[in-house]
Structure 1
Amino acid sequence: MESGSPFPREGVTVRVVTYAEVVARLRARVTEAGSQKAFARAAGLHGPDLCQVLRGRAAPSERQCNAVGVERALVMRDVAPAGEAVPCS
């Protein structure tokens, strides 16, 4: 993404991923690196925190997401008063 712009560059595909997908990417990178310790060191992550995420005891941090090419984004859902429809755009 371009610096200062909340929108991706032309030709860049953006999709929504789940925490489970982030954990799967983390596991793949750990396998490629040979160990959790090696991956954590190479990615600049705290090893014990990575372990907690891989065991399902914690959600991936922003830094862990970034290490596997995932950016966090805020999503707002408009909630209409009862009986009113919210237009999709």
Structure 2
Amino acid sequence: MSSSSAPTPEAPPPPRVVTDAEVVILLRAAVAQPGSQRAFVKAVGVNEGDLSSTLRGRRPPSTALRRAVGVETRLVHVGAAR
């Protein structure tokens, strides 16, 4: 028998909790790939005004912007209401 020398695919990293500030960092890196906010907006189909306002710190990232960089919004129940 011969052993396969094909590389095994790497597992994706486990999910982790991120802050809005980290989402903005991810957005800045994603915008840098195509080279401009306008090119990024066209590529992923998000609102240019939302992107601009988020990158300037005027509003938190929208659900669409979070999704554009692979971040999902989840509701977490941490205990009973007091």
Name the TM-score class by shorter chain.
Answer: 0.7 to 0.9
Normalised to the residue count of structure 2, the TM-score between the two structures is 0.79
Aligned to 1:22: 23
Structure 2 gap ranges (5+): 1-11
1:27-67 Cα shifts (integer Å, max 9, x gaps): 00111110001001101011111000000001101111000
Q: CA RMSD in A?
A: 1.9
| Runs of 4+ residues over 4 Å off in structure 1 | none
Q: What is the CA-CA distance between 1:70 and the residue it aligns to?
A: 0.5
Gap change, CA 1:40 and 1:80, over 3 Å in 2: closer
**5+ residue gaps, structure 1:** 1-10, 82-89
Greater C-alpha Rg: 2
| Counterparts of 2:81 and 2:51, CA distance in 1 | 39
Return the offset for 1:24: 0.3
Bigger relative contact order, structure 1 or 2 (CA pairs below 8 A, ≥6 apart) = 2
* Percent identity of equivalent pairs: 49
Amino acid at match of 2:26: R
